[in-house]
Structure formats: C-alpha cells, structure tokens
Structure 1
Amino acid sequence: MLPVLAETAYPDSAPGARVRLGDFVPFLADCGVGLSVRPNLTNREYAVVISPGSPAGKARVLGAGAARLIRDHRIEDGQVSMIHRLRSLLPLPGIDPPRHLDVYDFDDALFVGSTMEENRKFAWLKREAGRWHSYTKKAKLVLAGSRYLADRASEHSSRVEVVPSCVDPSIQPLRIHGDVERVRIGWIGSQSTAAYLNQLLPVFEKLNARGREFELVTVGAGDQLQAEWAESHPWTRESEKGFLASFDIGIMPLPDDPWTRGKCGYKLLQYFSAGVPAIASPVGANLEILGPDRGRFASSEAEWLEALEALILDSATRREMGANARSFVEENYSYQRWAPRLAEMLRSI
C-alpha cells in the first residue's frame, strides 16, 4: 500500500476537501493507495471562520490552527506528501508553503483571488495567490481540477495533470421524471455562491407571471430568496442526495470572470449523478461537462427564460436528458473511473 498524507486547511465540511480528498479514500484503497487526510481545522472551527461573527473569535481559531500546524507538520519517511489548496489558512514561512512537496492539488483559481465579497475580506491575510505560485513551483506533481486551471499551473510546473472533481453515482438515487404538478428547479451550494442566483430573479418572476408551474428549491443558500415560488433548505451531507433526487432541472448560473472560469462544474456533476438535466452558464469547466444531450447553456436573461420554459413544459425531454447525463457522469466523472488513474499518477512520483 502506497502511503500518502494529504494535508489541507479545510475539514470535510468544506466541499473541496471532501470531494477531492475524503471521498477518494476508499476508491484509492482499492487501488493500493492508502490516502490519509489531515485537516488543519475541525468542522466546528471552520464554521466559526466562515460564519458571521466577531473577528476576535475568528482570530482565535486561526491562531489555534497555526499553532497546531507548527507543532505537527512533519511527514513520516516513505510517505508521499500532498497539499490540497492550502496547508493552513494563515501563511507560515517554512511550514506553509513547505520546503518540500510531492503533490499539490487545487480546484479554484487561487492565482487570481475570489471575486466574492465574503472571500475578498480575508484575501490580504490568506495570500492565496502567492502561496499558489509557491506550491505549483515546488510540487513534483500538480493536480488541477480543470483544463483551465491546469494551463495556468503549467506556467510554473513541468508536470501537471487534470483530475476533475468526481461523484459516486452508485450511491445517488435517481430522479424519476414524469408529469408533475410543479416542476422543481434545483440549486445546491453555499451561501457565498448563492449570490449568483440573483441574476436569475427577473427570469423566475417572468416564468411566474406567465403561469408556469414551478418552484425554485435551493439547498445551502440560506434565506436570501424570499418569494412565493422559492423554498430554501440547509445543506447536510445526510439530506443532500435526497434533495438532488427531487429536482427536475438543475441550474448553475455564473458570471464570466477570471475567478469563475476556474470553477470545476461540481454542481453539474451532482445533478447528473441523480439523472437531472441542467441549464448552466457557459463558463469554466461547464463548457467541458454540459452538452446538448444533457441540458442547455444560457447566458442572457432571454436565453435562461427560453431554456427553463422549454424544460418546464417537456417532461419527456427532461427524462431523456437526465438519462444521458447519468451515463455521461458514470463514464467520465466518477470515482470508480478516476481512482485507478490517480493511483497511477501517485505511484509515478
């Protein structure tokens, strides 16, 4: 068994760490790779950092995480060293970034910084762009979540591989498509990215004015949308699969900017794993994932209105696209497909 220690600032309540590390563990074990994940922050500590609250409380958590890493940052002999995104939320010279690194994995455009207001507040402190450059230069192997990210990493590293974010379709219940009283348009994500839904509010208002029977179901967005046609639910790992299987249409609106071009399309993969067709902005990895047999691209308000209305009115097309989407993700974006490839990459270091 090849021992690999993956370190990250983020616990498994953070989607990136969960999807790109934790959920890979059993599949890599089947391929002879023992992946151990060492997060710097606990789920409770991470919740303090990302939630509204006193700066003093956040500082205490970040300080505790930094002290923990200073105390316990060594890698055992024979272990492959790996970092996902950041080793610590705070830069620690000589420790984060480390002097030696085998593998660096990332799934966001850290080299430009987030355009989300919530993330920009702490950009000066985290110094993600500078550390990203250091990680990519030092690592023997860089794993990027999309071709766009890989192209940027290739400017600093001689060995970059694309490993997309993956799903496990075998444990995801399927949506049974048919004629329904109200079509469920679904979105799943975080409160910070829920701001992207604002561009579609005029579209939903027009659909409602036209008498289209639908409801917008958001999971993880908080209570940002207050409308008769909207319902909001908190995200939990236990409820996620049930919500996905309740959607008739999945949506992924994004603005087009340097940060969003680094998005890896994970929402689309989640929808597809449940056999749900999607409508998405033609941005980032969405361009690689979405196809005309699995959903529709939409940029303008008129395109979103047309695409949503067409699928609301056509359950047969939703059923056909959903089946195509499920097959596509099984063949191209599942852990079952990618674990053997990743194991081979890790052994080659």
Structure 2
Amino acid sequence: MKALMLTRYERSGASSRLRLIQYAGPLGLQGMSSSLQPFFDDNYLRRLYSGSPTLATTLVAYARRAGQLIRAGHADIMWLEKEALPWLPWALECAMLPRVVPLVVDYDDAVFHRYDLHPSAAVRRLLGRKLDRLMASASLVTAGNCYLADRAKMAGAQQVEIVPTVVDLTAYTLRPDTFSASGPTIGWIGTPSTWTEYMAPKLPLLTQAAEAAGGRIAAVGAGRAAAAYPLLDNLPWTEESEVMRIHEMDIGIMPLTDTPWARGKCGYKLIQYMACGIPVIASPVGVNAEIVEHGVNGLLASSDAEWAEALQTLLRDANLRARMGEAGRRKVERDYSLQVWGPRVAQMLRDVASTGKSR
C-alpha cells in the first residue's frame, strides 16, 4: 500500500515534519510505503523566516503542487496537510483533487480562521467555508485537538479522529541530572511569529522572575524577532540541536492569549519539554489545559500575577521541578509518543484505503 504525503513544507516545517513526515517509519513497519511531496521547499521557508519570500518561489510552489495532484492517481491513499492549494477557492481545489484516491486531511492549527476571520469581506466570502468543504469531502479528518475536531464535525466530515502531535521517544531523552552554577533557566522554543505574539509581552515579567532567582531566559527559534533583552539568550533552532537546547532548560513555558487561533494550537512545545523531564508553565488555553495537570506535571497560569507566582514556585524548588518533570515524562510516554501513535495512525490509513471510498 502506498500513501502519498502532500505536506505544506519539507522537514524544516515543524507541522509537516511532526504531523506527517515522522510517520514514514511507523508506516514502513506496517508494510506501507510513503512518498513525500511538499508544497513549499526549504528554500521558501528560509526566505519566509528571513522576511524575504518572493513571488517567484510562491508561483513555483503552485506549479509543483499542480503536477503532484495530476500524478496522484497512482497512490492508494492521499494524506493531505491542511489543504492542497492555499488561498485558492474550493471549486478549483476540488477540480484538481483526484476523485479515485481516498483522501485523509490533517489539521494541527485553526487554519480555517485564516479565511473565515480574515479582515477582508471578499476573502471571507470566497474562502471562508473552503476548508469546511474540504473536510466534508475527505474520507477521514485527523485533528490535533478537540477544537479542530469539533470544526470538522460541524463541517460534516465523514469520520474524525483526534491525533495529538507527538514526539519520538528515541530522540527525546530525559534531561541529564546535572548541576548548573548559573542558576535556573526559563526556556521557550518556537518560531519568530509565535515569539512576537505570545512571548514578547511576557518578557518584563519573565526577566524579573529570572533575575530574582539568579537565572536566565532561553529563547530557541525566535530569531531576529527577539531583540536584545537583559538575561535573554537568543538561540538558533535546528532539528539536530532542539533536544539539547531543551535539556539546558529548568522550566519550559507556553504563554498564549485566549483567541480562536490559539485554541486550535496543539501544545507541542509542552510535550517537548515534558518528554525531556522538564516541568512546565502554560496558559490554560485550548489543549494546554488537557496536557498540563496543574500541580502534577506543571502549573497553569492566566493572569500576570499567576504567572509570577508559578515562576517563583518552580524557580525556588528544585525538588518540585524534578517531581513534576518525572510526571510529565510518564504522561508523554503514555499519551504523546510516536511509539504509541505510529501503529494507530498506520491502522487508520490502512482502514481508509481498504474501504476503497473515493471522493
């Protein structure tokens, strides 16, 4: 059986790597082959994060995807990340999608809000229900949390399964039990856009807490969005070094604002921290409140006062950090690992392919 993975990005794109690409190994163990065909290449993503995407690279991406769809009929199942043709209307995408191949669509973000909550009335009118129609046409929709799954059900999807974003436990090892003479580190991992929206407003509070504890703040992946700030270490992200960077943290954080877009997030950075045995502090928005068991594997905080208290609690108590970190690791092993979800996802795809249902 052959699965065609139509991703948004190559491995450098976190959502593509984690939601589809990392399942190639588990699919292979189940006797299934997979073919990766991204919309954008890594060159586009580098340009995007550097603030210099070009029209030419975007047009090349659309031409590439058109060719992929034309040749997709050879696959036994088509596994699509989010949508096939971003920013193009449903009528065109529907016409391009092969009708003879069962379709599975995956969502780990509330990307439908990019259209239905767009400030332009024209965009809302043309694209506002596009992804609902795509979900309704699919044989299976996999969603990273309940918020996304509920949208798929309301759209009339035939079958909806919640599949969390998971880590490979062979790569995400426990943090070494080493002593740091420099004091505890408050850590965050993400992208420039999420830094600007969620972390930058918290910097004064975080700096005050770190300074009082004789510690520092580590930001991994924020790039140029993270301006020079007292006690802030702005560190580059690479796939090869991300676990090492998390091992250097003592507390992992995930602040969010309660918005429709944030409710669609899948809490992956929390799962990364917990997999390494790091206690967490998070805003109780969306799936965060399910991943974090308050007082067990981390702390939930809404207001600035609650954030300050949570930071102070964990910064001053290394034993509590260790206990919460151990509890977090156990939860990841049980609920958020590729070792658990790989066979499950492979079976979902096999079941869809075996029904032979086409669009």
Fold shared, TM-score > 0.5 on shorter chain: yes
> Aligned pairs, how many?
340
Deviation at 1:202, TM superposition (A): 2.8
User: Equivalences for 1:266-345 in 2 at 5 Å?
Assistant: 266-291=268-293, 292-345=295-348
Deviation at 1:75, TM superposition (A): 1.5
Aligned to 2:153: 154
Letter in 1 for 2:73: E
Match of 2:65 among 56, 64, 69: 69
Q: TM-score under structure 2 normalisation? A: 0.88
Matched-pair contact (CA < 8 Å) for 2:256–2:262: yes
Give the whole-Å Cα distance in 1 for the aligned partners of 2:46 and 2:129. Answer: 25
Letter in 2 for 1:321: M
Letter in 1 for 2:216: E
Letter in 1 for 2:269: K
Deviation at 1:242, TM superposition (A): 0.5
Matched-pair contact (CA < 8 Å) for 1:144–1:164: yes
Q: Deviations over 1:55-111 (max 9, x none)?
A: xx6211111111222233221345201211122345275446625351111111122
Please state which structure has a larger fraction of its residues in helix. 2
Give the whole-Å Cα distance in 1 for the aligned partners of 2:209 and 2:123. Answer: 42
Deviation at 1:47, TM superposition (A): 2.3
Deviation at 1:9, TM superposition (A): 2.7
Matched-pair contact (CA < 8 Å) for 1:146–1:164: yes
Match of 1:91 among 83, 88, 94: 88
Aligned to 2:351: 348
Q: CA RMSD in A?
A: 2.5
Letter in 1 for 2:6: E
Matched-pair contact (CA < 8 Å) for 1:178–1:316: no
Q: Deviations over 1:213-232 (max 9, x none)?
A: 11000000124242221110
Unaligned runs of 5+ in 1: none
User: Equivalences for 1:36-185 in 2 at 5 Å?
Assistant: 36-53=35-52, 58-73=54-69, 74-91=71-88, 93-95=91-93, 98=97, 100=99, 102-113=103-114, 129-155=128-154, 156-177=156-177, 180-181=180-181, 182-185=183-186
Give the whole-Å Cα distance in 1 for the aligned partners of 2:145 and 2:236. Answer: 28
Matched-pair contact (CA < 8 Å) for 1:107–1:145: yes
Letter in 2 for 1:40: F
Q: TM-score under structure 1 normalisation? A: 0.90
User: Equivalences for 1:123-272 in 2 at 5 Å?
Assistant: 129-155=128-154, 156-177=156-177, 180-181=180-181, 182-195=183-196, 196-208=198-210, 211-223=212-224, 224-272=226-274
Give the whole-Å Cα distance in 2 for the aligned partners of 1:258 and 1:63. Answer: 30
Report SS of the residue matched to 1:76: helix
Unaligned runs of 5+ in 2: 353-359
Letter in 1 for 2:133: S
Q: 1:135 to 1:59 in 2, by over 3 A?
A: same
Give the whole-Å Cα distance in 1 for the aligned partners of 2:127 and 2:331. Answer: 34
Q: 1:120 to 1:324 in 2, by over 3 A?
A: farther
Report SS of the residue matched to 1:103: strand
